[in-house]
Structure 1
Amino acid sequence: MTPPGPLARRLTAAVRSATAVETSGIEPIPADDREGGPGSSFTLWFSSNVQFSSLTSGMLATAAFGLGWAQALLAIVLGSAVGAAAIGITSTFGPPKGVGLLVQTRLPFGRSGAAMTAVLVFFKACAWFAVNSILGAFAVQTLIGTGFGPAFSIVTVAQVAIALVGYGFIHLVQKAMALVLPLLFIGVSLYGFTESDLGSGFDAAKAGPLGFVGAFALVAAIQAARALSFSSYAADYTRYMPVDTPPRKLFLYAFTGTWLGSVWIASLGAAIGTIAFIGTPTDLVGQVLPGALATVTMLALGVSTITSSCLDCYSGALAWLIAGVRMARWQAVLVVGALGSAIGWFAGQGDYWKSFENFLIILGNWIAPWLAVMLVQRFLVRSRDEIPSRNFGPGFTAWLLGLLAAVPFMSQPGVFVGPIAESHPALGAYAAAVAFLTAGLIHYALTRRTRAGATRTTTDTHEEIPA
């Protein structure tokens, strides 16, 4: 028997390493355990965006908000670029310190403030796990002709299993899916783009009081919120990369993967939305796609939701640990899977469309000011003090004030509509932008004042600020 060659040995070693159960939690990854390159960020975020929730977010543009396809495409391109930039930038936070972004949140937010935001990220992860589990279950249910319960079980168990193995296996799965998913989605893409009404114009009746400007802004905001919501995870998947990983290359790979996957599938959803309003993957079979193509598409949708939601399960578990819960990483994964499954099981019994829309908007409203604080801290704050407060830091104050500033602009029909959004519906799409700008400016002002005070104290007492 011929012994395996060097390439085969390297591949075998790589697969063995990737499938070994991860033992690390939220502690810094030692330099000797660092490996991998920025290219894996492209495959991870590309695969994670080629899925049904991307399709549905694009479908809202034409089927619900009345944009023509070309108008929807422009809004999707712009919104996706904002979200992709957030993922690209936050991906660069992982290699320098070898920890996820939520751990780094402790410096500007304080330990208690960081724990509170980690709890929000945990519940966000559980909610995304639920959303994707429902969508994946619908696809599997249609594919194998079973009830919702068995299909839901298949999807949730697969998602949890990938997250249980951990970091290396997630990257391995996403690399494989970056090759498989385009092949599976190419058929529905050709059919959707050729059979839809790409020349459709603006439908004022669907847009209602939003008008064209409001509808366009809302579509861009929803699309940005989809990717923006994953920015809190991004450093979780780069913290094993070497310290000297080039940040520009890492940004470019993460940005490009996110943007391409998001624009492709969301624009396909917008195209299909000119034909019919699709509530679940099952509706694609009944209203849009012919037989064999429908089967392949259901397979693609089922697989894609699993590969996306395993990120929620993995990062949600890390958030739970950062919140201060004492347990092993694998135990935290099971907690996310159990809670997300419970939410998904009950939500999956009815129509999820309005909840999905509100869910995406709410995510953008609270994550945007959090991201603003982290960006200001990373790129504008030049402090030598690396010791976080035990309680609440200036970043937490800035985050809260950013949220409060956005309240008048918030618009979640059936939940809450702020006074400005109520009197001017088109401005309801700008709540996240208001929160982002307010939080960023306030955090910069607060930290600048703190640094000035610290400098005066140091000069007077001849003491140094702790490094």
Structure 2
Amino acid sequence: MAGSDNDRVGAVETRGIEPVPDTERHGHPGQMFWTWFAANISILGLPLGAALVSFRGLNIWQAAIVAVLGAFGSFALVGALSIAGKRGGAPALTLSRAVFGARGNAGPTLVTWLSRLGWETINTTTAAFALLALLNVAFGIQKNTVLTVICLLVFIGCTLLISGLGHATIMWINKWATYVFGLLNVVVIGFLVATVDWHKVFQAPAGPVSAMVVGTGMIAAGTGIGWANTGADYARYLPRRISGGRLVAASAFGAGIPLVVLISLGSLLAAGEPDLASASDPVSAINAMLPVWMSVPYLIAAFGGLLLSNHLSVYSAGLTMITLGIRVRRTLAVALDVVVTFVGGIYFILIAKDFYGPFITFLTLLAVPITAWVGVFAVDLILRRSYDTDALMNTGRTSRYWYRGGFSWPATTAWAVAIVVGLLFTEAGTGAHDIWFSGPLSDSWIGTNGLGWVVTLALAAAVYALLRRLDATVRSEASAQHTMLAPTAQPTAQEHA
């Protein structure tokens, strides 16, 4: 490998998924603060906040509480899972081989890769909307098919440049670009707050406590849960000595601060614009509330915030693709990923008529297997103290993580059971008359309120903890029995000889 160049700003990171040696570990927990702050200053937080008011019936105070619980709580979990990165020095899904086995890890890895592609497509599509609107406001250029494709390519090109360079450049850009785009967001937020109909806001009745519970789950599923399987990707260059608690705090506050501000603002705006939560083009819906002179900084901030989120997603997707077994360099994996994203963006903008319908469907379906992985991986992280770096890179039968036929049956069984149960409570579709999937328990209170992922998380953790202990007991008894039989078997063999 290229030594220290792997984590030098401006240099192309040549390391793939192989663990980072201690001699190349450096940095501090504050890097995780900037990583997750940058990932969450995009405008997608606004329609989430609007949904709390429009769909859940919460008032602004309840929405703010829900935003704090959902955002800070879910990213505290992201920070906790990133501890695995500093312990093992490898990406999250590579470390997952130690949990699920060399073959058993293929399922969670594939789901994670699809998840990253989905988020990238959403980011790319929204950014193209922002760039098209910016060209129209600043230069009077009207949207057309060719211009749409060009806007997609511009955003993808920016993403490829940053993600292709790798970890050190991403960390550096996250910090300094956050200042720039964060300042623009503050200016826009200040203006939007001034346009809020405060009378309607303060007169809005409080929603039921059950709606707050559901809203907290919705915010968690739409924010931190989607990043939970990537935290270790960015913590793997950190020294082992760094406190896990500081990683948790940095992640929670880094993401929580911008998310609470944006989600709360979305809740405020929904008082006067209840259709914001279901807008087919959220960029244009918010842009319509602004005068022309304010539209330019708003659209630049929207484009930049989405770019900061997207390059993180693409970087992780490249590592996940390599973990799947696709033998390419990391930079090529990133390039292949953005090609798929480009095709998805073309579909969403030029073919699909509904933007947020597919978005919600995507979140709903993938939240189940991702959350099942989180439950299993979290329990394993609590019980595990180290990773065998050689075994992580060995996917053959001689690997310590081969287990039985390449599968860890406690982990894969718990993951599968939790997915099946979670899907029982799941309904996914693009509208009331276009349901793609409906579980038999989707009309229950848990199902109708979108809490199936909570059941999935708890069940995956509980089943894995139980099966892991049972497996350890069986192995211990088998080892003890073998030890007891060994002394008697030896004389028999000698007599036979």
- The two structures have a TM-score, normalised by structure 2, of 0.84
Aligned twin of 1:179: 179
Aligned twin of 1:324: 325
Paired residue secondary structure (2:8): helix
Between stretches 351-360 and 40-49, larger displacement belongs to: 351-360
Aligned twin of 1:392: 407
Deviation at 1:56, TM superposition (A): 2.2
Aligned twin of 1:224: 220
Q: Is the 8 A contact 2:86 2:235 kept in 1?
A: yes
Q: Is the 8 A contact 2:167 2:234 kept in 1?
A: yes
Of 237, 249, 252 in structure 1, the residue corresponding to residue 249 of structure 2 is 252
Runs ≥4 residues deviating over 6 A: 13-16, 382-386
Aligned twin of 2:397: none
Aligned twin of 1:430: 451
Deviation at 1:134, TM superposition (A): 0.7
Aligned twin of 1:189: 189
Q: Is the 8 A contact 2:46 2:265 kept in 1?
A: yes
Aligned twin of 1:290: 291
Paired residue secondary structure (1:419): coil
Aligned twin of 1:239: 236
Letter in 2 for 1:281: V
Deviation at 1:202, TM superposition (A): 4.9
Letter in 1 for 2:417: L
Q: Distance in 2 between the 1:374 and 1:304 partners?
A: 30
Number of residue pairs aligned between Structure 1 and Structure 2: 443
Letter in 2 for 1:99: A
Q: Is the 8 A contact 2:371 2:457 kept in 1?
A: yes
Q: Is 1:407 aligned to 2:423, yes or no?
A: yes
Deviation at 1:222, TM superposition (A): 2.3
Aligned twin of 1:310: 311
Deviations 1:320-359 (A, max 9, x none): 1101111111111011101111112111233312222222
Q: Is the 8 A contact 1:47 1:181 kept in 2?
A: no
Deviation at 1:218, TM superposition (A): 3.7
Deviation at 1:425, TM superposition (A): 6.8
Aligned twin of 1:443: 464
Deviation at 1:247, TM superposition (A): 1.4
Of 82, 89, 94 in structure 1, the residue corresponding to residue 85 of structure 2 is 94
Deviation at 1:262, TM superposition (A): 1.5
Letter in 1 for 2:375: A
Shift in CA distance, 215/16, structure 1 to aligned 2, threshold 3 Å: closer
Q: Distance in 1 between the 2:335 and 2:291 partners?
A: 39
Letter in 2 for 1:184: L
Q: Is 1:134 aligned to 2:150, yes or no?
A: no
Of 383, 388, 394 in structure 2, the residue corresponding to residue 380 of structure 1 is 383
Aligned twin of 1:25: 16
Aligned twin of 2:267: 270
Of 352, 356, 368 in structure 1, the residue corresponding to residue 355 of structure 2 is 352
Q: Distance in 2 between the 1:383 and 1:176 partners?
A: 34
Deviation at 1:427, TM superposition (A): 4.7
Q: Is the 8 A contact 2:88 2:387 kept in 1?
A: no
Between stretches 406-415 and 233-242, larger displacement belongs to: 406-415
Q: Distance in 1 between the 2:175 and 2:341 partners?
A: 25
Flag structure 2 segments of 5+ consecutive residues without an equivalent. Answer: 142-146, 392-399, 430-434, 485-497
Q: Is 1:458 aligned to 2:479, yes or no?
A: yes
Shift in CA distance, 92/458, structure 1 to aligned 2, threshold 3 Å: same
Aligned twin of 2:36: 45
Shift in CA distance, 88/383, structure 1 to aligned 2, threshold 3 Å: closer
Shift in CA distance, 408/24, structure 1 to aligned 2, threshold 3 Å: same
Shift in CA distance, 345/215, structure 1 to aligned 2, threshold 3 Å: farther
Aligned twin of 1:206: none
Q: Is the 8 A contact 2:9 2:168 kept in 1?
A: yes
Q: Is the 8 A contact 1:69 1:200 kept in 2?
A: no
Q: Percent identity at matched positions?
A: 25
Paired residue secondary structure (2:49): helix
Shift in CA distance, 442/16, structure 1 to aligned 2, threshold 3 Å: closer
Paired residue secondary structure (1:412): strand
Deviations 1:177-217 (A, max 9, x none): 231222111122223333224325259xxxxxxx8456434
Paired residue secondary structure (1:199): helix
Q: Distance in 2 between the 1:301 and 1:100 partners?
A: 29
Q: Distance in 2 between the 1:104 and 1:15 partners?
A: 20
Paired residue secondary structure (1:416): strand
Aligned twin of 1:418: 439
Deviation at 1:442, TM superposition (A): 0.6
Deviation at 1:384, TM superposition (A): 10
Paired residue secondary structure (1:229): helix
- The structure with the larger Rg is 2
Paired residue secondary structure (2:407): coil
Of 56, 70, 82 in structure 1, the residue corresponding to residue 73 of structure 2 is 82
Deviation at 1:139, TM superposition (A): 0.9
Deviations 1:144-185 (A, max 9, x none): 225322222111111111110000111011011231222111
